[in-house]
Structure 1
Amino acid sequence: MSASSSPRPSYAAVLRIPHARRTFLAALVGRLCYGVVSVAVMLSVTRATGSYAVAGTVMALFGATGVFLMPYRAALVDRYGPRRALTPMALLYAALLCVLAAATWRPGTPAVALGVIAAVTGACAPPLGPTMRAVWAELVPERGMLQRAYGLDGVAEELLFVTGPLLVGVVVGFASPAAGVLLSAVLMAVGTLAFVTSPAVGGVRAAHRDSGPESRPGAGPKSPRKRESSPVDGRALLQPVVVATGVGLSLSVVDLLVVAFAEQRHLGADSAAWVLAALSAGSAVGGLLNGAVDWRTPARVRLPRLAVGLGLALAAAGLAPGLWTLAAAVACAGVFVAPALTTAYLLADETAAPGARTRAGAWINTGVNAGSSGGAMAAGLLIGRLPLGACFVVAGVAVLAPATLTRRPVSGWGRRHRNPVRLERPQTPDGQPAADRR
């Protein structure tokens, strides 16, 4: 991979963009809900029913509707704009979390009722992450800085899913686990309301208003027919979604493999936590380094290379003889995680028309989360049937396989419009403007 040595703006410069800091912090408060809610719901349902089987089923329903309906909820944000779509969605989601908290505060609620409440609640989860990335695409003036903004966003999200369970641990130390569900409701409502009232979010146009030359200052003629009929180039989006799915699957497998590694050596659960923390730390470092480099190699070429690096590092982790070498190996693997996901989000943004950015980013989220769910199931089947070293190799292959996708030129809207947008070329003679995608 080649990189330019030209000076680049700092992460601080990204946050100095007008309204960026306020908008980003508000989004992080809302997104912290997702770092809290899964653990809180699992603990509260387990406490209320006394059954891990019921808790697992409820969590599966909660996660399935949240993951697989996300692109459709994101489409509502693209269609009606963040303010009109996210506000009722977030308030309804927070209200349903309160209902779930009330249902699990005391034992006695039927398991079927808990499953229905959880499924409906998950179906309303607002796509705050994809929406924030769509706002970054509006705020940031050029592609190099957008990569840095996405890197900052990815690292922050990684930290949210580390601090979220810690907050739940603090809450359950003096209150019912259902109080953690209430906390997640408050975080979602407060964070989303602060987010949608930001002037930066107000500048994001709904898809049905984003047509014609006047929709963006300085933009030239557009092709409404193309934008409406093909807002997202599915063929171009396939590669980042499949790679993101592989990343989610492999990381989910590794989570359980690390726990099994610690148990086999009688090291205790806290040892596994340190190894997984090393994975997150490596991911954070990799994300910051990736954003600091002015890459000249196209993202569509970088993405499979990052997947190969992650796959090889995970396979090598299977050779670790002890805990500290395993921690070092998964930390090296983590260095590729955030860059791979950041690059996948960049590709999704390139692929989508301006009115479909949230939807395109949501497909990446869906891929990661669907892969994570499948990985947990696969790991459960593998552990005990294969040596742990072989299981790590399987985890590596899970992310290596998408890297073998063909990189043939992509036809259609996304191929023609991607480069003029991000490289900010002058307006072409056929009327396709450089400033069309900011």
Structure 2
Amino acid sequence: MSAVSPRPSYAAVLRIPHARRTFAAALTARLSYGVVPIAVMLCVTRATGSYAVAGVVLAVFGATVVFLSPYRAALVDRYGPRRVLLPMALLYAVLLCTLTVAGRHPGASGLLLGVIAAVTGACAPPLGPTMRTVWRELAEDRLLLQRAYSLDGVAEELLFVTGPLLVGVLVGFTAPAVGVVLGAMLMGVGTPAFVMSPAVGAMRGSGGVRKGRRASLRPGRELLPPIVVAGGVGLSLSAVDLLVVAFAGQRRLGDDTVAWVLAALSAGSAVGGLLNGAVDWRTPARVRLPFLAAGLGVTLGVAGLAPGVVTLTGAAACAGLFVAPALTTAYLIADEAAPAGFRTQAGAWVNTSVNAGSSAGAATMGLLVERLPLGVCFLVAGGVSVGAAVIAGI
């Protein structure tokens, strides 16, 4: 059961003192994560002449970004955003510029580029988890926090659509290295503006281990449902990206077809996220989460029956309706379950699970799509989310 609540609205979220300034600065810095991956891949490909080397470099960059995220978030919880995010952002920006210098000439060492990329990823500031912690401090009302998380999730989705488009425009008239430098500039400008906001300045770290408490959060039973669902959603979505490419290839459709289908998925996610945030849910988040994951899985399974691209586009839009709500709900549950002083880490664990699932999904589906019928592959992709829903509901 649910009822639409006229208050608070999304406008009310942005009217919170310091919210617009803080959110805009965070989004500026987070846009770097939408720009850098594709720019780095193009830059390394041009420098080494090898797609394989570029793929490895991007993989090690992504691995250190993803799997070290909870530990970087632990530093934020322990010492506070200002003392941690500023040096991280500076190192990240400097290392990105170093990467462009190392790859400025053809024949650059792939090993050197890989090492620089790995260290760069290790320094990536956990801006998304930190921003959600800031929302938790700004929006004390439960409904206001739900809307804030939904707004944040939709905005983040749009950043990962906008980033590659910006790089595509840039490489049309300049070198890919300029895209990498743009990513460094976005981080170098956005992060200081973010941490200098009064809303962030009011946050203080825990000061390390106190009264026998550990400084880092180990996910327990309370965090298991959101982490499992986030991983399942990430895996399913990355698998669908590859399946749409295979669908277009089997029917000899153009690359623009793939873009339209994936755009429909993103649009559906944005709509679903905004609708989810606008509803005053009577059902607890822990009850809603498995249903949202199951809805995504069932819709993806049905998408495998699509006879043509129009039907597949519609199915993708319907599947997208569940994506942002599922992830937003997972973040809300993680926030509620985390002890005081550990909320940034809790959000980082969910974020890590999404990204890890995304990496695993692309790799796994790449093997399956050449061995199984496409419809079966869609069922497998959807089945992962349904399986995650079952585990979360236990």
**TM-score > 0.5, shorter chain as reference:** yes
Cα pair 2:226 2:392 within 8 Å, conserved: no
Structure 1 match to 2:126: 127
* CA deviation after TM superposition for structure 1 residue 105, in Å: 2.2
Cα pair 2:228 2:391 within 8 Å, conserved: no
- Judging changes above 3 Å, is the alpha-carbon distance between structure 1 residues 309 and 161 closer, same or farther for their aligned structure 2 residues? same
The whole-number CA distance in structure 2 between the counterparts of 1:331 and 1:125 is: 32
Cα pair 1:232 1:351 within 8 Å, conserved: no
Picking from 357, 374, 383, the partner of 1:388 is 374
Deviation readout 1:40-88 (Å, 9 max, x if unpaired): 0010001111101100111111111110000000000000000000000
Q: Is the partner of 2:103 in helix, strand or coil? A: helix
Structure 2 match to 1:292: 278
The whole-number CA distance in structure 2 between the counterparts of 1:37 and 1:123 is: 14
The whole-number CA distance in structure 2 between the counterparts of 1:25 and 1:394 is: 38
Structure 2 match to 1:206: 205
The whole-number CA distance in structure 2 between the counterparts of 1:105 and 1:252 is: 31
The whole-number CA distance in structure 1 between the counterparts of 2:38 and 2:217 is: 36
- Judging changes above 3 Å, is the alpha-carbon distance between structure 1 residues 26 and 368 closer, same or farther for their aligned structure 2 residues? same
Deviation readout 1:195-243 (Å, 9 max, x if unpaired): 00000001112122898xxxxxxxxxxxx66x65886662100110011
Map 1:337-356 → 2, pairs under 5 A: 337-356=323-342
The whole-number CA distance in structure 2 between the counterparts of 1:374 and 1:5 is: 37
Cα RMSD for the two superposed structures: 1.5
The whole-number CA distance in structure 1 between the counterparts of 2:113 and 2:219 is: 39
The whole-number CA distance in structure 2 between the counterparts of 1:26 and 1:196 is: 9
Map 1:85-96 → 2, pairs under 5 A: 85-96=84-95
Picking from 243, 255, 260, the partner of 2:246 is 260
The whole-number CA distance in structure 1 between the counterparts of 2:62 and 2:157 is: 19
The whole-number CA distance in structure 2 between the counterparts of 1:39 and 1:261 is: 23
Structure 2 residue runs of 5 or longer lacking an equivalent are none
| One-letter amino acid of the structure 2 residue matched with residue 405 of structure 1 | I
1:357 paired with 2:343, answer yes
* CA deviation after TM superposition for structure 1 residue 354, in Å: 2.3
| One-letter amino acid of the structure 2 residue matched with residue 363 of structure 1 | W
Moved more, 227-236 or 99-108: 227-236
Q: Is the partner of 1:235 in helix, strand or coil? A: coil
| One-letter amino acid of the structure 1 residue matched with residue 185 of structure 2 | V
Structure 1 match to 2:354: 368
Structure 2 match to 1:106: 105
Q: Highest Rg: 1 or 2?
A: 1
Cα pair 1:310 1:337 within 8 Å, conserved: yes
Cα pair 2:301 2:379 within 8 Å, conserved: yes
Picking from 306, 311, 320, the partner of 1:334 is 320
Structure 2 match to 1:281: 267
The whole-number CA distance in structure 1 between the counterparts of 2:176 and 2:389 is: 41
Cα pair 1:8 1:294 within 8 Å, conserved: no
Q: Is the partner of 1:234 in helix, strand or coil? A: coil
* CA deviation after TM superposition for structure 1 residue 170, in Å: 1.2
1:156 paired with 2:142, answer no
The whole-number CA distance in structure 2 between the counterparts of 1:208 and 1:102 is: 38
* CA deviation after TM superposition for structure 1 residue 119, in Å: 0.6
Cα pair 1:210 1:355 within 8 Å, conserved: no
Deviation readout 1:287-321 (Å, 9 max, x if unpaired): 00000000111111100000010000000000000
The whole-number CA distance in structure 2 between the counterparts of 1:26 and 1:287 is: 21
Deviation readout 1:227-282 (Å, 9 max, x if unpaired): 65886662100110011000000000000000111111111111100000000000
* CA deviation after TM superposition for structure 1 residue 173, in Å: 1.2
Structure 2 match to 1:189: 188
Aligned residues: 394
The whole-number CA distance in structure 2 between the counterparts of 1:98 and 1:56 is: 19
Q: Is the partner of 1:207 in helix, strand or coil? A: coil
Structure 2 match to 1:434: none
Moved more, 120-129 or 102-111: 102-111
The whole-number CA distance in structure 1 between the counterparts of 2:298 and 2:5 is: 31
The whole-number CA distance in structure 1 between the counterparts of 2:209 and 2:72 is: 19
The whole-number CA distance in structure 1 between the counterparts of 2:215 and 2:256 is: 52
- Judging changes above 3 Å, is the alpha-carbon distance between structure 1 residues 163 and 406 closer, same or farther for their aligned structure 2 residues? closer
Deviation readout 1:71-121 (Å, 9 max, x if unpaired): 000000000000000000000000000001111222132111111111111
The whole-number CA distance in structure 1 between the counterparts of 2:104 and 2:219 is: 46
| One-letter amino acid of the structure 2 residue matched with residue 81 of structure 1 | G
The whole-number CA distance in structure 2 between the counterparts of 1:406 and 1:172 is: 43
| One-letter amino acid of the structure 1 residue matched with residue 159 of structure 2 | L
| One-letter amino acid of the structure 2 residue matched with residue 169 of structure 1 | G
Q: Is the partner of 1:248 in helix, strand or coil? A: helix
Q: Is the partner of 2:222 in helix, strand or coil? A: helix
**Sequence identity percentage:** 72
